[in-house]
Every structure is written in structure tokens, then in C-alpha cells.
Structure 1
Amino acid sequence: MSAAEFAAANLSRATGAGLDPHEYLRVTGELADLEEWGEAFVRAAHGHLVRAGQAATAISAGEHFQVAARWFHFATLGPNRERALAAAEADTAMGRALDLLEPGARRIEGPGFTGWLRGPADVAATAVVVPGLDSGKEEFHDVINALLRRGMAVFAMDGPGQGVLADTTTVRADYHHVIGQVIDALGTDRVGLVGLSLGGYYVAESAARESRVAAAITVSGPFRLHWDLLPRPVREILIQRAGGEPAARDFAGQVDLSTLASQIACPLLVVDGGQDVIPGVANGESLARLTPHGQYLRLSHGDHLLGNARPDWLAAAADWISGALT
């Protein structure tokens, strides 16, 4: 895949993460080869760190740190020999941003997760945002903000094989153990879950096996994975995040909600894009149909993560989970 093709495929994902589309097009338009991706995105991130240091107010500095975190995170999506360093830089920059913009935000960590709890203290509703295969807690800017605006506390997390933990841990299909640790650490008796891409599977699997999940949303989540049909780039990422091809094949074989769906007792909203066609990944219609309290929203023009159809689902989904939890 050329640099231009890769950049175009990730444009709606980048804007959903809070990257300015004009800056994104300028940075990616200067790439002569996809191998330059990581270096170019890290360079853009450093530009925002410089702006943060020159900012006249804490608000402006915090906003630049926040944008830098997202550029560092996106540096990990393409070829990057310093991927682990970029993920660590994203984590650090987000921490500096929240120190300035949301001093009440708390870092919460456990054996298999880390993340930031944002929003008002002692609220009735807490939502956990679960990333996917190559995403992390710095990415889903639009989803997190939509939940915060509705008065919820939001825990944006990295789990095994994700974000800042990708270099030291590997993916696991029994993600409900991680969500159980998160709920314990949050000190609440019920949470809502929002999972994106592979995070959609993590959320559904957790909803089936963790009774403290009170409502859940999956966005572009797989119902089942077929290793032999997965595109080569997806297989390569999974091999990296699983710690080798045998482990990756085993993980893919466990991603199957056909028997777990009927065990999801809480309300579940499944959101799919009609233009999200990844060979080897069955869409979520089966999950919504087999789940006792499932609802299905399919937008025919939506791509993977539906970044090109945000007005058609994001506000409605945020309202839905807010209502389900409160």
C-alpha cells in the first residue's frame, strides 16, 4: 500500500481522534514512502510540544499537549521503528495535558490496564472506553468528549497489547478479566462499556461474563474472526500484539461471539458501517440479533469506526448509553 492510500484509508479515523484534517493532509501529503510515516508523525507531535512550551496560557499549553499525544499515537499506526517510544510519548503528553486542562483527572492502573478517569466525581454513571487492536486511550477524542458532555465519568484505558502497554503485554481474548480489574479499581458497582473495532468484541465478551456491566455499545466490532481470510496487514499487527503467529492464530480462533451473545443480559447497542468490509470479520448484525436486549444500527455509508458518518450515530449512541446508565 502506498503512503497516499494508507493516509486516505485513515483520514476519518484521524479526524475522529482530534487531528486537524488540514494538518493531517499536509503531513501525509509530504510522504514519499509509507516507511516515513512514523518519523513524520513524531515530528508533527514535537511541533505541538514546542507550541505548548511557547503558549501564553495553561489552556493553550494543555491543548497543544493533547494534540501532541494524538500525533504520537498515530505515529504508531504506520511503519515506525520507535513505536514503543512514540506510545510512551503519547502517554506522557496526555498526562501533561490533563494536568493543565482537567486537574481532577486521575490515573488508575492495575496488573493488566492503565488509563485516565475523567469527568465529575461521585456521578451515577461511569463509562469505560475500550480501544481496539492498534488503538489506545489517546485516540477516541470524539467518543470520550460526547460522553463527558452528558455528565458521565469516563475511563479511557489501555489493556493488554494496547497503547502504552503494547510493548510489554500481549492481547487476550478473555478480556472480561481485565474489565473486572478496572471495575474493582474504579470502586463502582456498575459501568457502561463502549468498545471500538476489536474493542467491540472485548466489550461484548465482557458484557456476557461480567455482571457489573450495565450497558454496552460496540462500534465496528467483529462477531467472529477467520484467520485465513484476514488481510495481511491485520494479521501482521495481530502477530505483533499477540507475541508471534501461533499465539495470534489462537487468539483469532477465540474471537467468536456465537455462543456468548445469548448470555449478554444488559442492553447492547451494535453500530456498524456498511462500507466497513474487512475479509475475515463477520459484522455485528448477528450479535444484535442473538443478544436478548440487542439493538442494531447500520449506516450504509459508514466506514470502519464510522468516522465518515459521525453525525448519524455518535450523539445518539452517547444519549443511549447515558439513558441506559442513569
Structure 2
Amino acid sequence: MSAAEFAAAQWTRATGAGVDPHEYRRVTDGLTSVADWGPSFVRTGLVYLDRAEGAGSSVTTGEYLLTAARWFHLATLGPSAEAGRSAAAAADRALGRALEIREPGARRLTGEGFTGWLRGPADAPGTVVVVPGLDSAKEEFLDLVDALLARGLAVFAMDGPGQGVLAATTTLTAYYERVVGRVVDALGVASVGVVGLSLGGYFAARSAALEPRVAAVATVSGPLRLDWAELPEPVRDIMARRCGGAGAAREFAGRVDLTDLAPRIEAPLLVVDGGQDVIPGVTNGEPLARLAPHGTYLSVPHGDHLLGNARPDWLPHLTDHIAHTLIGARP
């Protein structure tokens, strides 16, 4: 794949993550190969770190740091695993610095197989866990977190095994309900909502089926099941890196199947898919919504994977679903 093709494929994901579309064009137009992706995006992130150092106010400093975190995270989408690890660490640091400035009440929580930031009021009427996917991370979905915070909820945006900053030291696990269970323990709450994006949709739905403290759930571009033999080679390559080898990745993919678990999801479930999201080897979420006892399906015809090109068509609906379910469920 050429650099131009790769940049075009990542376009709505990057702009959906919050980077300026014009700057994205300028950065990617200068790429001569996909190998230049990581270094170019890291350099852009460093520009924003420099701007943060010279900013005239704490508000501006925090804004620049958040932008740096976005660029560093997007740098991890390049082909170099080693460069991706260092970029993920830079994204993690930039996000942490931004929150320390912007939200002094935000708390870093780390435990076995997870790390992330808990944001929002201490007396929030509900808490939501945001779960990333195969190569996403807590730095990618800041607009989703902001929308949940605006509805009065507390939000824990996390990296799990094999994700984000933890990809350097851990590998993906299909048994994500165990991770979510430890997260709920660390949060010290009776129940949570869970939102999962891309492969995180599988993690969220599985957790809702097997962890009884999940009281509301939503998936965005999440798979019902995966077929390793049909997955595109780039997806298999990423999965192999995140699982610790091709054999482990094949085994992991074979476990991604919600057919039998979907009927066990008692929490209200919203499944969001894009009509243009067609990845070979991936069964989209419509059967998941149909099989779940309280499932609702929202398909956005023009939406692509993660629906970065259709934010207004689903983001308010999803965040209202989570907020109404959690707040309405409170005694």
C-alpha cells in the first residue's frame, strides 16, 4: 500500500480522533512511504509539545498537550512496532500532563491488565468505562469521553492488555470480562456502563454477558465474530503484533464469537454500525443486537469503520443511551 492510500484509509479515523483535517493533509501529503508515517506524526506531536511549553496560559498549554497526545497516538498506526511503542508512551505522557493541568481532580488508576484516567465528578450518578480496540487507545476517543462527561457521568478511559501504552508489555486477551471486573473493583462502584469501539465492541459485549456489574453497554463497529482465514493481511499483521505471534493471533481470533454469549447480555445494549464498514472476515453487529434480550441496532448507511465520518449521526444517541440507562437505573 502506498503512503497516499494508507493516509486515505486513515482519514476519517484521524479526523474523528480530533486532529485538524487540514493539518492532517499537510502532514500526510509529505509522506513518501508508509514507513515515514510514524516519524512524521511524532514530529507533529513534538511541535505541539514545544507549543505547550511556550503557551501563555494553562488553558492553552492543556489544549496543546491534548493535541500532541492525539498525534502521538496516530503515530502508532504505522508499521514499525518499536516506533509505535515509543509513540504510545509519548501519547500517554502528553494526556497525563494535559489532565493534570485541565482537570486536577482526574485520577490515574492502574491495576493488573489496565491503566487509564478516571474523569468527572466524584458524586457522578453513573460511571462509564471506555474500551479501545485492536490498535486504538485511550487517547483516541476523547470526544466520546467529553460527550459522556457533559451528561454528568464519570468516565474511565482505559488501555487494556495489548492496547495503548500496555502494548509494550502485555498481549491481547479474549477474556476481557476479567479485566473489566478488576476495573470495577478499582473504581469502587456498584455498576458501570461500558462502551467498546471496534474490537473493543467485542470486549464490551463479552463483559456485559459475563460481568454482572455491567448495567449498560454500547458497541461501535464491534464484531459479532472473526474469521481468521478471511481477515485482510494488514489486520492479521496488527493482531499478530498485539497477540505475540501469528499462532496466538489465530487462536485469539477464533475466540471472538458472541453468538452464544449475546443471549446472556441482560443490560440494555446499543449496537452501532456503519453501512460502509465492510471488512472481510468480520461479521458486523446486527446479529448481536438481535440476539441480545435488550438489544437495539443503529446502522448509519454512510458510516465507515468507527464512523469517524458520521459523528453527529450516532455519538449523541449513544451517549444518551448510556446516560439514561445508568441514571435511570440508580435507586
Q: TM-score range by the shorter chain?
A: over 0.9
Give the aligned partner of residue 31 of structure 1.
Answer: 31
1:133-282 matched pairs, under 5 angstroms: 133-282=134-283
2:128 match: secondary structure? strand
Query: 1:43-70: per-residue Cα shift (whole Å, max 9, x none)?
Result: 0000000000010101101111111011
Indicate the percent of aligned positions where both proteins have the same amino acid.
Answer: 65
Aligned AA (1:77): L
- Aligned partner of 2:98 in structure 1 is 97
Amino acid at match of 1:209: L
AA at the equivalent of 1:43: R
Q: What corresponds to 1:50 in structure 2?
A: 50
Quote how far apart the aligned CAs of 1:90 are: 0.5
8 Å CA contact 2:131, 2:158 repeated in 1: yes
Residue identity matched to 1:293: H
Contact persistence 2:27–2:40 (CA under 8 A): yes
The aligned counterpart of 2:115 is 114
Alpha-carbon offset, residue 74 of structure 1: 0.5
Partner of 1:317: 318
Shifted more, 116-125 versus 273-282: the winner is 116-125
Equivalent-residue separation in structure 1 for 2:151 and 2:75 (angstroms): 31
Q: CA deviation at 1:316?
A: 1.1
Instruction: Indicate conservation of the 8 Å contact 2:17/2:308, yes or no.
Output: no
Which residue in 2 is equivalent to 1:79? 79
> What one-letter code is carried by the residue in structure 2 that aligns with 1:108?
L
Task: Say whether the 8 Å CA contact 2:226–2:253 is kept in structure 1.
Answer: yes
Paired with 1:94 and 1:192, the residues of 2 have a C-alpha distance of 23
8 Å contact 1:52–1:64 — kept in the other structure? yes
CA distance in 1, matches of 2:213, 2:79: 39
In the alignment, the residues of structure 2 paired with residue 251 and residue 299 of structure 1 have an alpha-carbon distance, to the nearest angstrom, of 29
The Cα of 1:14 is off from its aligned counterpart by: 0.9
| Distance (Å, rounded) in 2 between the aligned partners of 1:22 and 1:139 | 18
- Offset of 1:116 from its aligned partner? 0.2
> How many Å separate the matches in 2 of 1:4 and 1:121?
46
Q: Which moved more, 1:311-320 or 1:206-215?
A: 311-320
Secondary structure of 2:297's counterpart equals strand
CA distance in 1, matches of 2:5, 2:314: 26
Unmatched tracts of structure 1, length 5 or more: none
Q: Where does structure 2 lack aligned partners over 5 or more consecutive residues?
A: none
Please list the CA deviations of residues 127-148 of structure 1 after superposition, one character each: whole Å capped at 9, or x if unmatched: 1100000000001022111111
Q: Which moved more, 1:107-116 or 1:2-11?
A: 2-11
Partner letter of residue 37 of structure 1? W
Partner of 1:69: 69
Assess if the C-alpha contact under 8 Å between 2:125 and 2:152 holds in 1: no
* 1:108-160 superposed Cα distances (whole Å, 9 cap, x missing partner): 01011000001111211111100000000001022111111111100000000
Amino acid at match of 2:131: V
What is the SS of the residue equivalent to 1:139? coil
1:237-295 superposed Cα distances (whole Å, 9 cap, x missing partner): 00000001111011000000010000001100000001000000001010000000000
Name the SS of the counterpart of 2:118 in structure 1.
Answer: strand
1:125-136 map, 5 Å: 125-136=126-137
1:36 and 1:79 in contact (8 A); partners too:
no
Whole-Å Cα distance in 1 between the matches of residues 139 and 281 of structure 2? 27
Deviation per residue, 1:187-210 (Å, 9 max, x gap): 001000000000000000000000
Taking structure 2 as the reference length, the TM-score comes to 0.98
Query: Which residue number in structure 2 is paired with residue 5 of structure 1?
Result: 5
Deviates more, 1:210-219 or 1:14-23: 14-23
Count of residue pairs the alignment pairs up: 326
Q: CA RMSD in A?
A: 0.7
